Homo-oligomer: A and B are copies of this chain.
Amino acid sequence: MQYDRRFDGMNCRKLKELSAADSLRRLASVPLGRVVFTRHALPAVRPVNHLVTDGQIVIRSSTGTILSAEVAAFEAVVAFEADELDVEERLGWSVVVTGFAQLVTDPDEATRLKSMIQPWVMGEMDQVIRIRPEIITGYELVPAAG
């Protein structure tokens, strides 16, 4: 697709802030987000499918991955971003949650959560990581004239 990145006055947007509750609700409505973390002092990002339950974000991982080694092992602070943005209409929303990522160590709880979300990618994916939101921000792109 040839996408025109130049100006079209009809499509100019402004940002409308979303409440924390609305942000979390939207985050829960999509199956996929991006977990953002620090690796060797460098910014890193991975798309991952997720679930929101009990106000927390739940993702799957496996022992050998960077996510498990760098994030879950240290209860690192991560950001989690999800969006639904229509590139034709230039409308949609984006939500960013910042919080602590923690390995779910209770076996019963891990089993329960595993039954609710399966990774897209094959492999062991034996670990369940939950992210406890500390900061929730979100915005919606709305027509500038609105």
Q: Which residues of A come within 8 Å of B, CB atoms?
A: 1, 3, 5-8, 11-15, 29-32, 34, 36-38, 42-47, 49, 51, 77-79, 81, 83, 85, 87, 90, 94, 96, 98, 115-118, 120-122, 141, 144
Contacts and interface: CB of A to CB of B under 8 A. Distances in A.
14 contacts: A3-B31, A5-B116, A7-B118, A8-B118, A13-B120, A30-B87, A32-B87, A36-B44, A36-B45, A42-B77, A43-B77, A45-B96, A47-B94, A121-B141
A121 B14 contact: yes
Contacts of A14: 121-122
Number of copies: 2
Nearest to A78: B43
